[in-house]
Amino acid sequence: MKKKSSAKPGTESCIQTDVDMSLGDGQPCPACLGILQHHLDRPFLAKIKEYVTEAEYEFKSFLCSLTVPVCVLIRERAILVHLRDKFKSVYESVTESDIARVKDVWKWTAGPLLGDSLGVAFDQKSNFDIAITFNYPRTFKECEMFLDYQPEVFKRRKFKRGQGELFNRANVGKALKDMSDQKLRRSFQVPPTIPKVACECETICCTREPLYIAGRYNKYNRLLSQTPWFVDGVRKSESSVEEKICDHLKKYFKHSDSKFSASGREDVDVLMLGTGRPFVVELLDPHKVTFSKTEVSNIQKEINAASSYVQVRDLQIVTKEATSNLKEGEMEKTKTYSALCWSAAVMPPEKLKEISAMKNVVLQQKTPIRVLHRRPLATRERTVYTMSAERIDDEHFKLNLETQAGTYIKEFVHGDFGRTTPNMNTLTGMECDILQLDVLSVLLDWPKPIEDS
């Protein structure tokens, strides 16, 4: 076996391979197509170890997953039918589920041997996977019988590579389950013919389950979006909160990609103050996963030193299960805001006092005009729990609010052409607008605070 190409940096570690097609002393096995003959020896296992080592993953255990040609399912069934014919008293009650699959036999044999070679445990519950894919050139030809047997499932159509597989384990397995032994004998050779060529090892891939890192961020710039902002393919902001955090994580965790999620989002022109907004980053296929609290703290310090616009606190590695806290109780949590507002006339002191006394004001908010292009039209009920209004000058006042999450604050102030009711125009009896908005707090007790963060 020789290496064709190595994985590109920053992608999952896959290695394309091909095999020497000479069959050696014997022909390929009609059941395993040579998988158990040619891919359980020490040279092949040594190649796997070499590929895993070159991929530079950090792991304490591993599992193996095999993808074998789907026609192996047919051959396994054909051999069972042949055994039923020859040894009826022994195999009459035996089903496919009673027979060890080729890929399972390979894993039972190769797993412990690889574990000894790699110096770690072979564990089928591991989060690090060595995936091996085998290819057999006559797979499609051997599965063609299903086009006539179940044309409603295996429709005759033009099939293009890269658009998925016409024959897969799910539909072939179901078809075989529904097919009688007699029908199989008429459609397929029983016992199966000895193949002229053996299976090829097509790819070896190393992948790891995602790692999750959470924290809270503050945003101190009114030109910075939370995530990369593109309109019709044109970038609208130079950077984003996501990039200013994730770009630093990349060089430490060496993941292939990442997904950034936060507990809500502020508009580009809105600051995120106070203790910050909770967020979590899903790191896909990370190569390095073991970090001490001190090391994570140092990554946080590096993020904070790189930009005064984005600051992070409480950075920590969390479990997948813990990330559900970010979305659970989405509508129950509260947020506090400070808004700089304008009024068309001087706001009387008694009106400011009246506004400040209001509690639990229930709003009916139609989807704002400014977000109709990306959110469905709906009317949402939201509650403003408390308000306080403070005069700044004859035309300006500051409005502090505690609201239900998901409340559109800008629209509550200017009314959005009557799409939010009540609003500050109807509550004060004069035209109002919002000039500046800050988020003061997101009242979600997650992730846990870290001292000296």
**Active site positions, annotated:** 267
**Rounded Cα–Cα distance for residues 396 and 402 (Å):** 20
Tell me if 268 sits within 8 A of 436, measured CB to CB.
no
Report how far residue 208's alpha carbon sits from residue 293's, in angstroms, rounded to the nearest whole number. Answer: 22
Note whether 228 and 329 are within 8 A (CB): no
CB 28 within 8 A of CB 197: yes
Neighbours of 417 (CB within 10 A): 10
Nearest to 263 by CA among 446, 385, 440, 401: 446
The DSSP code sequence of 165-226 is -SS-HHHHHHHHHHS-HHHHHHHS-SSPPPPSS--EEEEEEEEE--EEEEEEEEE--TT-BS
Q: How far is CA 428 from CA 6, 37, 349, 423, in A?
A: 68, 84, 11, 9
| Alpha-carbon span 41 to 114, nearest angstrom | 11
